[in-house]
Amino acid sequence: TSVLLLNGPNLNLLGKREPGVYGSITLDEINALLKHEASLLNVKVYCQQSNHEGVLVDAIHATVDTHQGLLINAGAYTHTSIALRDAIAAVKIPTVEVHLSNIYSRETFRHHSYIAPIAIGQISGFGAESYRLGLHALVHYLRR
């Protein structure tokens, strides 16, 4: 079983970016944590990040032959991108949406997700732990 972890815009800046909101952990550290967790679950996780919507769409399309599940933090595109939602719906890949911060305790423009309605579920507000929980949830779903 192979899972793609896809991170969207500005998440490459984790560690330096608004640490009060997103914590001090870097994306490299999150990726390492997820790879370790994946080895415990006996799955493979591939990590990709892009600041570009079209690159994220291409990455979702490319999952068809390679991956069985998608773990995604689409960053601000969560709240804006019908294209990302349509890409996930098109390839029909089982998807878990994750967020470091609790998007429902923040500005109202963060309360709506275009991805959530087509995802298996969403985990929001647990920092890096959101990713670990999300991986567990996704693998659990794939093995159901």
Determine if 75 is a binding residue for ligand DQA (CB under 6 A). yes
Strand partners, 66: none
Phi, psi of 50 (to 5 degrees): -150, 150
Identify whether 112 is a catalytic site residue. Answer: no
CA distances from 9 to 64, 65, 133 (A): 23, 25, 21
What residues numbered 30-59 form the site for ligand DQA, per CB under 6 A? none
Determine if 73 is a binding residue for ligand DQA (CB under 6 A). yes
- Burial annotation 54-89 (CB, 10 A radius, 16+ → b, else e): eebbebbeebeeebbbbbbbbbebbbebeebbebbe
* Count of chain residues binding ligand DQA (CB under 6 A): 10
In the set 67, 99, 114, 131, the catalytic residue is: 99
| Nearest alpha carbon to residue 81 among 46, 54, 43, 103 | 54
> Residue 32 or residue 76: which is nearer to ligand DQA going by CB?
76
Identify whether 131 is a catalytic site residue. Answer: no
Determine if 64 is a binding residue for ligand DQA (CB under 6 A). no
Determine if 101 is a binding residue for ligand DQA (CB under 6 A). yes
**Active site amino acids:** 22, 99
Residues that bind ligand DQA (CB under 6 A): 10, 73, 75-76, 78, 99-101, 103, 110
